[in-house]
Chains A and B, each alone.
Chain A
Amino acid sequence: MPSQKKVALVIGSGSVKCAAALGLKQALDRAGIPINMLVGCSGGSLYAALMALNVPTEEIAAMSARLWTRALTARANRRALWQALFPKLAKFDSSFSLRDDKAINRQLQAVYGGKRFEDASIPLYITATDFMTGELVTLSRGDLLPAIRASLAIPLIFPAVQHEGRTLVDGYLSDPLPVSVAIREGADIIIAIGFQADTQSHLSSLMRYTFQFTSVVSNNLLKSNYAFTSLAHHSEVLLMVPEFEQRVRLFDTDKIPYVIQVGEREMGKQLPYLQQLLSN
């Protein structure tokens, strides 16, 4: 008899590292453990959405490798310099970004265009942050494209997204591993895979400086939010923060097969306990 416990998979922010969730899902599939709810934040939203749409794991890996390339940030936003130097004249506003977002919009459109939350066979929640209030925003209805684009809107790098009357930016800014959403939506056992953002070895450019700043904030936020949710939840939060022996950088999509292996290994460690929990 299948377990009555509702299992949620929460995939935190972490760009290419989020592909580890595919390995985790493979391990769960082999063990015959269904996922009843998916929550994705930032890079995790790319994978959570495709899993919820029942796309096979191999296909998700291939799609994400095609989608997530250096081309996404290759083109500078020329208006940004003028906006920074002459904010009134060049009309500085919440759409400010150092990189042009045409490439990311095009790539996301190719994968998620026309798809809706309602198409998902597993309930799906994608998180973003209201840039004006700092509030965690959970998106679960309507078009997937604006939700995923908002969840990925790294401040300063990509422009914020105007969606349903709000200015939305990357979900990691309010919670890099939104376990709270799974708790609120009634999950019992929560499998949470999160990633510590890499710190920069040197701060030799504005981009590196920006990434360092956001990594420090994000890593501390990951800890403090996990501290709260692990104590607040009535049941179990199985936390996985994989350690990668190889360095996996922002666009290292060639390492996706390795990242998937790491995810599978991490899930394998906790699988016997998860099976016990489900049969209890």
Chain B
Amino acid sequence: MEMKLEMDGTVAIVIASGSIDALTAPELANFINLQIQDGHTRLVADLAGVDYTSSAGLRVLLGAVKETRSKGGDLRLANIQPDVKKVLDLSGFTSILKHFPDRAAAIASYNG
């Protein structure tokens, strides 16, 4: 899995691609935790390049949401692909996470 960070004002955008599963989840969790430790608590995860998430991926997302929210921020999702959306819907995640059709809308939601 590949990850990179872009900034848009105070919003940190985590751009991930590949699968989020038990083999890659620790790497993603570390990457997100580093951003939070650096003071970036308003996060957007751009999932345009993520084609699969397993239960291990869900645990990473939940951990990040709880961590950012406890620090006054949030993790918001953008560009969720259909197979990933299905898992997020089935696990109830779309009811507790804010998600947007594209990155711009997710970033703009922090300014609303």
Contact B23 A276 (CB under 8 A): yes
> What residues on A are CB-neighbors of B54 within 8 Å?
236-239, 273
- Decide if A231 is an interface residue (CB 8 Å cutoff): yes
Give B1-48 interface residues, CB cut-off 8 Å to A: 19, 21-23
Partner of B22, one of A226, A231, A277: A277
How many positions in chain B have a CB within 8 Å of any CB in the partner chain?
A: 18
- Decide if B58 is an interface residue (CB 8 Å cutoff): yes
Contact A227 B22 (CB under 8 A): no
Residue of B nearest to A235 (CB): B22
Contact A236 B22 (CB under 8 A): yes
- Decide if B105 is an interface residue (CB 8 Å cutoff): no
**Complex alpha-carbon distance, A239 and B55, angstroms:** 8
Contact A280 B23 (CB under 8 A): yes
- Decide if A222 is an interface residue (CB 8 Å cutoff): yes
- Decide if A54 is an interface residue (CB 8 Å cutoff): no
Contact A241 B86 (CB under 8 A): yes
Give A213-251 interface residues, CB cut-off 8 Å to B: 222-224, 226-227, 230-231, 233, 235-239, 241
> What residues on A are CB-neighbors of B19 within 8 Å?
273
> What residues on B are CB-neighbors of A276 within 8 Å?
23
Proximity string of chain B (57-93) to chain A, C-beta cutoff 8 Å, 1 when within and 0 when not: 0110010000000000000000000000011011111
- The verdict on A223 contacting B23 (CB below 8 Å), with A230-B55, A231-B58, A236-B54 known, is no
Partner of A277, one of B23, B59, B87, B91: B23
Contact A236 B92 (CB under 8 A): no
- The verdict on A227 contacting B91 (CB below 8 Å), with A241-B86, A276-B23 known, is yes
> What residues on B are CB-neighbors of A231 within 8 Å?
55, 58-59, 62
**Complex alpha-carbon distance, A223 and B93, angstroms:** 10
Proximity string of chain A (252-263) to chain B, C-beta cutoff 8 Å, 1 when within and 0 when not: 000000000000
Partner of B91, one of A226, A233, A236, A238: A226
- Decide if B104 is an interface residue (CB 8 Å cutoff): no
Partner of A223, one of B21, B52, B91: B91
> What residues on A are CB-neighbors of B62 within 8 Å?
231
Residue of A nearest to B96 (CB): A227
Contact B58 A230 (CB under 8 A): yes
> What residues on A are CB-neighbors of B90 within 8 Å?
222-223, 226, 239, 241
> What residues on B are CB-neighbors of A233 within 8 Å?
55
**Complex alpha-carbon distance, A236 and B19, angstroms:** 14
> What residues on A are CB-neighbors of B55 within 8 Å?
230-231, 233, 236-239
**Complex alpha-carbon distance, A240 and B64, angstroms:** 25
Contact A230 B23 (CB under 8 A): no
Give B88-103 interface residues, CB cut-off 8 Å to A: 89-93
Give, as a whole number of angstroms, the nearest-CB distance from A180 to chain B: 13
**Complex alpha-carbon distance, A222 and B62, angstroms:** 19
> What residues on A are CB-neighbors of B89 within 8 Å?
223
Known: A223-B90, A226-B91, A231-B59. 4 other contacts (CB 8 A): A226-B92, A227-B91, A238-B54, A239-B87
Residues of A within 8 A of B (CB): 222-224, 226-227, 230-231, 233, 235-239, 241, 273, 276-277, 280
A-B residue pairs in contact (CB < 8 Å), sample of 9: A222-B90, A223-B89, A223-B92, A230-B55, A231-B62, A236-B22, A273-B21, A277-B22, A280-B23
Nearest first, the 10 A-B pairs at minimum CB distance are A230-B55, A237-B55, A227-B92, A227-B91, A236-B22, A223-B92, A230-B58, A223-B90, A230-B91, A226-B91
